[in-house]
Amino acid sequence: AQTVTQSQPEMSVQEAETVTLSCTYDTSESDYYLFWYKQPPSRQMILVIRQEAYKQQNATENRFSVNFQKAAKSFSLKISDSQLGDAAMYFCAYKTSQGGSEKLVFGKGTKLTVNP
């Protein structure tokens, strides 16, 4: 069974600085998908970024980028130029590429605080 581990329960960053959130996973599959979700205090889950395992190029979405290390099974999220609105819980998630499964495996989350 796949597992996702976020080893940092809490992180903090100064506004305008850069922060990296860690995520490691365990799987025997060679093809899969990885995601980062953001959950602000408003509760709504927001998809931040996604990565297909077959792609070597790291995904980027504006100030958000990932460092995907397939051999190491690592998928970290970098937030550049941090803003107060980035304060939230961040969840790393894994999805199999096998058809017929809609299961997302989540890590336990990292609470990010942005200090002004």
**Residues forming the site for other proteins (CB under 8 A):** 4, 33, 35, 37, 42-47, 50, 91, 93, 95, 102-109
Shortest separation between residue 55's beta carbon and other proteins, angstroms = 13
Shortest separation between residue 42's beta carbon and other proteins, angstroms = 7
Residue 44 token pair: 């709504």
Handedness of CA 77, 78, 81, 84 (dihedral sign): positive
Distances (CA, A) of 104 to 36, 40, 90, 109: 11, 20, 15, 14
Considering beta carbons, is residue 56 or 102 the nearer one to other proteins?
Answer: 102
Considering beta carbons, is residue 18 or 98 the nearer one to other proteins?
Answer: 98
Q: DSSP 3-state assignment of 85?
A: helix
Shortest separation between residue 94's beta carbon and other proteins, angstroms = 10
